[in-house]
A and B are shown apart, each in its own frame.
Chain A
Amino acid sequence: MIIPVRCFTCGKQIADKWETFSLRVRAGDRPIKVLDELGIRRYCCRRMLITHVEIIDEFLKYPQVSAKKRAEII
């Protein structure tokens, strides 16, 4: 849904690194390099960021659409 606050396995807090990670990877940086620079060493924490899908962005579209619809009716 949204980036988990901690690594599922070891409990390291990784949520605050997601935005940097996602921005830099989308800009074309290699994930390996970004993770190393963010100081995420263990593979349990690395997979948290590598495999994450931010689905909450999709969910947010529904209230946005229904608000627009409501505005049209009124």
Chain B
Amino acid sequence: MDIKLLSKEQETLRFVLSDVSPAFANALRRIMISEIPVMAIDDVMILENNSVMYDEILAHRLGLIPVTTDTSYNLPEECTCKSELGCEKCRASFSLEIEASEPVEVVYSSQLKPENPEVKPVSDRIPIVKLTAGQKIKLEAYARLGRGNVHAKWQSVSAATYNYDEKARTFTFLVESTGTMPPEKIVLEAARIINAKSVSFGEGLGGMTES
């Protein structure tokens, strides 16, 4: 197996992978798309909202905002707290409170106050909602780790593709992160997941031969 880095711009990574089977390259690609745990807002407690946007649309938009992932958090299903609400080890909270005084006031992602500075919106300029004078929004949001195969908001990449050169037997990969994690970390994390899956498969087989 050989990996050659082609280019790295902010969120996009290009590399050539050679001496692997198409099955392996594809497994890597599919895991990057759907199985890397990343953070996204999952629960929103709306205390006040008299904007023109319904609570559920507001919550949906908050969920889709890419937030930076801190991998020291636990996956909610693996956390020791076993709580539906989560604990400080498996969730990061945000708060938003704003009352408009102008005729048109845009609420941006920068106004979401993160509890942990490591978990914050990727961009400060994402419009969440527009308010007019007198309208008020007050809410608390909780981000959790999750996987892309559960909901697209937990997808780590917006593009993970490769081009297979049959003659040279090489795969030219393109990995474009949503900003939640650097792309090279996504590739590494995918490799770690393949490894963990293989190990547990091996353990399963071991159990079969014993019986």
| Of listed A11, A19, A42, A56, residue having the most chain B CB within 10 A | A11
Q: Which of A13, A56, A59 contacts B123 (CB 8 A)?
A: A13
Residue-by-residue, is A1-25 near B (CB-CB < 8 Å gives 1, otherwise 0)?
Answer: 1111111001111011011000000
Interface size range on B against A: 20 to 34
A2 touches B129 (CB 8 A): yes
Residue-by-residue, is B169-187 near A (CB-CB < 8 Å gives 1, otherwise 0)?
Answer: 0000000101100000000
Closest to B104 in A: A60
Q: Which of B53, B124, B134, B158 contacts A7 (CB 8 A)?
A: B158
A5 touches B155 (CB 8 A): no
Cα–Cα, bound, A42→B159 (Å): 10
Q: A1-B53, A5-B64, A63-B52 are in contact. Are A57 and B104 (CB under 8 A)?
A: yes
B130 touches A13 (CB 8 A): no
**B197: A residues at CB distance < 8 A:** none
**A6: B residues at CB distance < 8 A:** 64, 66, 152, 158, 178
How far apart are A49's CB and chain B's nearest CB, in angstroms? 13
How far apart are A3's CB and chain B's nearest CB, in angstroms? 6
B125 touches A19 (CB 8 A): yes
B64 touches A19 (CB 8 A): no
A5 touches B61 (CB 8 A): yes
* A11-B155, A16-B125, A56-B130 known, 14 other contacts, Cβ within 8 Å: A2-B61, A6-B66, A6-B152, A6-B158, A11-B152, A11-B157, A13-B126, A15-B125, A56-B52, A60-B52, A60-B130, A63-B134, A64-B132, A67-B133
Nearest 10 pairs between A and B by C-beta? A12-B158, A16-B125, A5-B64, A59-B52, A16-B123, A15-B126, A10-B158, A11-B158, A60-B132, A16-B126
